[in-house]
Structure 1
Amino acid sequence: MPDHTLGAPWSLALLLIAATTLAVSLGAVPISMADVFSVLTGHGDPLHQTLLLQLRLPRVLQAAAIGALLALTGALSQGMFRNPLADPSLIGVTGGASLGGAIVLALGIGAGAGGNVFLSIGAFAGGLLATGLVYRIARSAEGTSVSTLLLAGVAITALAGALVSILEMTVDNSTLRRVALWRLGSLAGADYQSLTLASGTLALVIALSMPLRQLLNALLLGEAEAGHLGYSTQQSKALLTAIIAGGMGVTVALAGAIAFVGLVVPHMVRLYSGPEHRALLPRCTLLGALVLVLADLISRTLLAPGEIPLGIVTALLGVPYFLVLLRRYQARLVMT
């Protein structure tokens, strides 16, 4: 099937570059495009250089990396579970990662030098544990039940949220505020150190997931059929689980719980590229980056100089689309 122009990777890349350029120029202190290019070429006002290079540029680039991670792990989740609603935030991964990160923050080792690394380790462990529990509950001799999968994800997410709430009741006010603001989602603390962690994780997730595209296509036929085609489904799904938990762990550690990007973006891509993962995964990566750059731009400019938590922005944008998906999914169930 030929690419539609709007959905071609080159067009998404151009849109991402344009959105990134726009995002670094807009904010509480607007910077003209001419001044942006002057700063990027080593000239320009010193104040603009500091504002652009030290504050906005790492934040915008980190938004792109985290958006790509969210969309890519969402596509991997939906492919692994053969479920169009299997976003990491709906199957307990985000809740588990949030709990793991909150424990790190409550212990006082999620701040200061190396804090992002410890946060990522805690969030990765929490996300991996949550994914394993959900999959174990949904797995039976007949295969993986979609309805049980979603219900288990809701239960694990609720349990993780309750445990985080209990944890918040035991910490001091400063830690409580840090945990609460972190959970709402924000890129306000982005710097080049966190950008390096986000971009490095994205590169690793891409390197590990792209060779699995044929496997994901085979899984669309069913686990038994994929096994007949020569794939070791259990080992492959264990690797996919680790990739998803690792990617989500870093995103939750660096930006908090950002919902719906991993659910909505793969569906947007399927509208013009279909379910074939060789086309789906690269496009999800680019479109996810574009969506979160724009969402972060809304987050920090709509009420400037104040800031709306990024998780709230993505929820407001994603919930209507999710409800449409649920209606379509319900209509398919009725027809079958």
Structure 2
Amino acid sequence: MTKTMKTASPILIVGLVFLALATLSLGTGSMNIDPPALFSALLGTSDPGTSLIVWSIRLPRLVLAALAGASLALAGAVLQGITRNGLADPGILGLTAGAGLAVTGLIWLQSHGIAVEPHWRPAAAFAGAAFAALVTAVAAQRDGAIAPVRLLLAGIGMNALIGAATLVIAMGLDQQLYSAAVVWLSGSLSGAGWSASTTLAPWLAILALALAAQTRRLDLLSLDDETAAGRGLAVDRCRLRVAAIAVGLAGAGVAFSGGIGFVGLVAPHMARLMVGPKHAVALPLAALCGAAVTVAADLIGRTVFAPLELPAGIVASALGAPWFIWLMWNGKDKKG
């Protein structure tokens, strides 16, 4: 098997899995839609009721789940690369909590009559995630280096601190907004509309393109600093640049999907297991894995426990937590 085929096969397999999950997501719910009727609805040739369900309810939710999952997966892959820590994840390191705090703050402003346009959400989430990342990194440093265990402990502490602050702000909301904030923070995609996806998609596209230009540097950053510097890489400057991209990706994903945890941990590992550590190949596959995992989590949450609907964030955490424990148990705190 040629190198190209070895690379293309996993992407094709995961792509087919994603398409199968997408078909199930669009066709399954309170009213099941068989594949022929679903295809007709997508083409706009079915009855108005079916088209309304597909185009106005299920498809926007599916697209948002895929975009958010891809964003979080890319962020996780970058964080694992630049920290050389296989346990790094936007949620574990506090980025998700920081972004959630910022967006909850925007909701609080809205509750006090200050109009905030939806397109400000990613910017606010980026600021919150950047603050959390900075504090976590500073707290984890010792003698100029960031130890994996210290990074993990600093992230846990940051999550607890920001979680408490977020709860305090949320308690200042009226009952309706408080309920909405709690549901959003749990990673629910219920009620997702096209506006969220059309706002998130440009952010993801721009940041993904910026990341694509850094794949060779990411490969060098995955080595030790001395080796990377010896090959001509400005290590600190490059690490800061790609970290900013990761923070932006995490913030954008959280801004519209809420706290969907462990996607950024699991998806990069899945990708590297299939295609190896080279970021030029692993990053696109990680994004596809992240999209598939998030769509699967949302599908499970709204169908398996029907009529009760569990947020995708809760299902993703239930699926991802055992993986996290396994990584810790096997001592895989190094990337790959």
TM-score if structure 2 supplies the norm length?
A: 0.92
Partner of 2:316: 314
Partner of 2:39: 37
Instruction: Name which of 6, 10, 13 aligns with 1:11.
Output: 13
Instruction: Name which of 72, 79, 82 aligns with 1:80.
Output: 82
Q: 1:86, CA displacement in angstroms?
A: 0.7
Letter aligned with residue 298 of structure 1: I
CA distance in 1, matches of 2:109, 2:79: 31
Partner of 1:183: 185
Moved more, 319-328 or 301-310: 301-310
How many residues align? The count is 332
| TM-aligned CA distance change 1:331 to 1:64, over 3 Å | closer
Q: 1:122, CA displacement in angstroms?
A: 1.9
Partner of 2:134: 132
SS of match in other structure, 1:221 = coil
Letter aligned with residue 161 of structure 1: G
Q: 1:125, CA displacement in angstroms?
A: 0.8
Q: 1:114, CA displacement in angstroms?
A: 5.9
CA distance in 2, matches of 1:78, 1:279: 15
SS of match in other structure, 1:96 = helix
Moved more, 296-305 or 315-324: 296-305
Mark the runs of 5 or more structure 2 residues left unpaired by the alignment.
Answer: none
Partner of 1:145: 147
Letter aligned with residue 46 of structure 1: P
How much is the aligned-residue C-alpha RMSD, in angstroms? Answer: 2.3
Mark the runs of 5 or more structure 1 residues left unpaired by the alignment.
Answer: none
Q: 1:97, CA displacement in angstroms?
A: 0.9
Partner of 2:233: 231
Asked whether the equivalents of residues 105 and 111 of structure 1 are also in contact (C-alpha less than 8 Å), the reply is no
Partner of 1:23: 25
**Residue deviations 1:17-36, cap 9 Å, x none?**
22212211111111111101
Partner of 1:101: 103
Asked whether the equivalents of residues 7 and 281 of structure 2 are also in contact (C-alpha less than 8 Å), the reply is no
Partner of 1:170: 172
**Residue deviations 1:40-64, cap 9 Å, x none?**
2221111001001111111111111
Letter aligned with residue 203 of structure 1: A
Asked whether the equivalents of residues 106 and 116 of structure 2 are also in contact (C-alpha less than 8 Å), the reply is no
Q: 1:170, CA displacement in angstroms?
A: 2.8
| TM-aligned CA distance change 1:62 to 1:169, over 3 Å | closer
CA distance in 1, matches of 2:86, 2:143: 22
SS of match in other structure, 1:329 = coil
TM alignment of 1:52-63, pairs within 5 A: 52-63=54-65
**Residue deviations 1:190-236, cap 9 Å, x none?**
21211112222221121011121111111121122212211122222
Q: 1:245, CA displacement in angstroms?
A: 1.6
TM-score if structure 1 supplies the norm length?
A: 0.92
Partner of 1:278: 280
